Structure 1
Amino acid sequence: MLELFTNTLTLLQTNIAFYLVSVGLVSLCIGSFLNVVIYRLPIQLQYEWQTECKLLLAEHLTGSNGEDNRPTFNLAFPNSHCPKCQTSLKWWHNIPLVSWLLLKGRCGFCQTSISIRYPLIEVLTATMSVVVAWHFGPTEKALLYIVIGWALIALTFIDVDHMLLPDQITLPLVWVALLAATLNITIAPQEAIIGAAVGYLSLWSVFWLFKLVTGKEGMGYGDFKLMAVFGALLGWEYILQIVLLSSVVGAVIGSIQLAVQGKDSATPIPFGPYIAAAGWIAMLFGPQIQSWYFGMLQL
């Protein structure tokens, strides 16, 4: 087994084309799984919150023993099925991207249209992973950033759909970033700890200042935790860059979105996707952006 691993690693390091294709194909499959996470995790959390609320309020649940008799619903069960006709999908219906193209974007049973977002997320996952793989080569940092990129995609679309950044994803990312620092994959452990604290407190401070001035909550706690992830990965020096980039992009795209949808400017919009995008860019091009920015200041 060790020899197989060593030979595979050597092949990846010496054959860049094989390395990039392998990353792309694996990430395409991961993108298919991310579609499941994006759809099911918020529903699973909602079920759990409802059960906890009923227990706290001492209400009787459906079962005679106070148990919830709803069918099992998590990332593994039930099997993949059409949301319209509820028919379980065959294995060939779940081939990333290929199945959607062969089925012409429709269910193989009831012919209901399947959203193009599913294959787009798969392609996005593969594309982002290949970009990271190309940028860092076959290294431990590339693997780390690819996995973080997968998580960022899930967080982005969950936040778009539900205005939610689940702790089940953000908190493990914080620990992964801190552990990566202790393994000398990213920055020094002390810098990672300080970065996580500064990242969290940067938006936490803005949140409370805004709330004291307006009496309203301008963002969610999930945004603080996501910023802590990037602080732990990159260090406190990159927090300002990520905040500024995400704020500018969020303001522009958010304003356009509200205008197109005809909604009021007071309508809340998710900030997590812009933090995720800005953080991912900083992961790849942070030093170059820093150099350009400080170079402009000297001018």
Structure 2
Amino acid sequence: MEFTALNIVIYAAFCLCLGSAMTAYVVRTPKYEEYTWRKEAHQFLDIPFNESTPLGFHSGMSQCPNCHNKLKAYDLIPIFSYLITKGQCRYCHTKISIKYPLTELACLLSCLPLLMINLPLAPLMITTVIITTLIGISIIDWQHQWIPDHASLLILGLGLTLNLLLSEVALYQSVLGMLIGYLLIVSIRQIYLTLRKIEAIGLGDAKLLAALGAWQGLENLFYILFFASILGVLYAILNKQGRHQSMAFGPFLCASAFMTYFKTYLIY
């Protein structure tokens, strides 16, 4: 698909809007899920639970987390609203976290290279959503050491759909990548549980690798796991991470998948 200057501007705006939605996702989802877990635990133990329900990703309009004023459309323009208000809430003047415009910018910069691959429109849109979702997963796992199942499931479904659009061979590789990706992590986890009685890696990482395998197929699956392992080891060494300290592996899987994807389509 050929892009005019106008098309590039429209695509950039689309990426920024996805980034804006992703900022809401990474802020709201952990709070809502943790609230749900506490509520279920209290109900299981038959203990009163009186916490107010936080906003979920799909519920309620955007609002200031401090004064709770509903934000107008002009308060939600990606990056520009932050710059115009000098990083403050328009109503209570509370400082707004820099992570909001940085997440939007990360989504834009991560997706713009897709224009160099010359993808058809449908694969371009699907891949754009996959990459922005990977950014959201990375942020949540880095901050909370937890990967939302529905985010991995979204990537898995989009990955299968993308390869279905390409060919039967691509779909076959996609299904194999999904199955083997999941079994690889589960096997590593089970070995550690059996031999050392520790949970070396979580099932969230298994689901994420299955989703990445569905997206990039069996051929790239081992590159993703290899590069992610190298990145994880380098991070642990540079930060003097102890062997018994937990560390989020999801961001390294996402970064590795990003590298592998563009290595495949831009270098070769």
TM-score when normalising by structure 1: 0.80
Displacement after TM superposition at 1:139 (Å): 3.7
Match of 2:226 in 1: 244
Task: Give the whole-Å Cα distance in 1 for the aligned partners of 2:182 and 2:227.
Answer: 17
5+ residue gaps in structure 2? none
1:268 and 2:256 aligned: no
Q: Is the 8 A contact 2:173 2:219 kept in 1?
A: no
1:184 and 2:166 aligned: yes
Amino acid at match of 2:192: F
Task: Give the whole-Å Cα distance in 2 for the aligned partners of 1:237 and 1:151.
Answer: 22
SS in 2 for 1:23: helix
Amino acid at match of 2:150: Q
Displacement after TM superposition at 1:277 (Å): 0.9
Task: Give the whole-Å Cα distance in 1 for the aligned partners of 2:211 and 2:154.
Answer: 9
1:54 and 2:36 aligned: no
Match of 2:111 in 1: 129
Task: Give the whole-Å Cα distance in 1 for the aligned partners of 2:188 and 2:155.
Answer: 22
Task: Give the whole-Å Cα distance in 1 for the aligned partners of 2:40 and 2:130.
Answer: 30
Displacement after TM superposition at 1:274 (Å): 0.6
Amino acid at match of 1:223: D
Provide Cα deviations, 1:149-185, integer angstroms capped at 9, x if missing partner. 0110111111111111111111232222223333336
Task: Give the whole-Å Cα distance in 1 for the aligned partners of 2:121 and 2:167.
Answer: 9
Greater shift in the superposed pair: 240-249 or 227-236: 227-236
Match of 2:29 in 1: 41
Task: Give the whole-Å Cα distance in 2 for the aligned partners of 1:244 and 1:277.
Answer: 12
CA change 1:288–1:269 in 2 (3 A) is same
CA change 1:203–1:156 in 2 (3 A) is same
Provide Cα deviations, 1:83-131, integer angstroms capped at 9, x if missing partner. 2333333332211100111111122233322221110110111111211
Of 134, 159, 164, the residue aligned with 2:146 is 164
Of 209, 213, 216, the residue aligned with 2:198 is 216
* Aligned alpha-carbon RMSD (Å): 2.4
Q: Is the 8 A contact 1:199 1:228 kept in 2?
A: yes
Match of 2:259 in 1: 281
Amino acid at match of 2:79: L
SS in 2 for 1:45: helix
Alignment of 1:51-130 (within 5 A): 51-62=39-50, 70-71=52-53, 73-130=55-112
Task: Give the whole-Å Cα distance in 1 for the aligned partners of 2:220 and 2:2.
Answer: 33
Q: Is the 8 A contact 2:158 2:215 kept in 1?
A: no
Q: Is the 8 A contact 1:140 1:185 kept in 2?
A: no
Displacement after TM superposition at 1:199 (Å): 0.8
Match of 1:18 in 2: 6
TM-score when normalising by structure 2: 0.89
Task: Give the whole-Å Cα distance in 2 for the aligned partners of 1:89 and 1:271.
Answer: 35
Match of 1:27 in 2: 15
Q: Is the 8 A contact 1:242 1:279 kept in 2?
A: yes
Provide Cα deviations, 1:206-263, integer angstroms capped at 9, x if missing partner. 222223332211221111111111212222222221111011112212433x34xxx6
Task: Give the whole-Å Cα distance in 2 for the aligned partners of 1:236 and 1:14.
Answer: 30
Task: Give the whole-Å Cα distance in 2 for the aligned partners of 1:60 and 1:83.
Answer: 26
Task: Give the whole-Å Cα distance in 2 for the aligned partners of 1:186 and 1:177.
Answer: 13
Q: Is the 8 A contact 2:19 2:107 kept in 1?
A: yes
SS in 1 for 2:166: coil
CA change 1:195–1:157 in 2 (3 A) is same
SS in 2 for 1:29: helix
Amino acid at match of 1:40: R
CA change 1:98–1:288 in 2 (3 A) is closer
Amino acid at match of 2:29: L
SS in 2 for 1:101: helix
Aligned length, in residue pairs: 268
CA change 1:105–1:255 in 2 (3 A) is farther
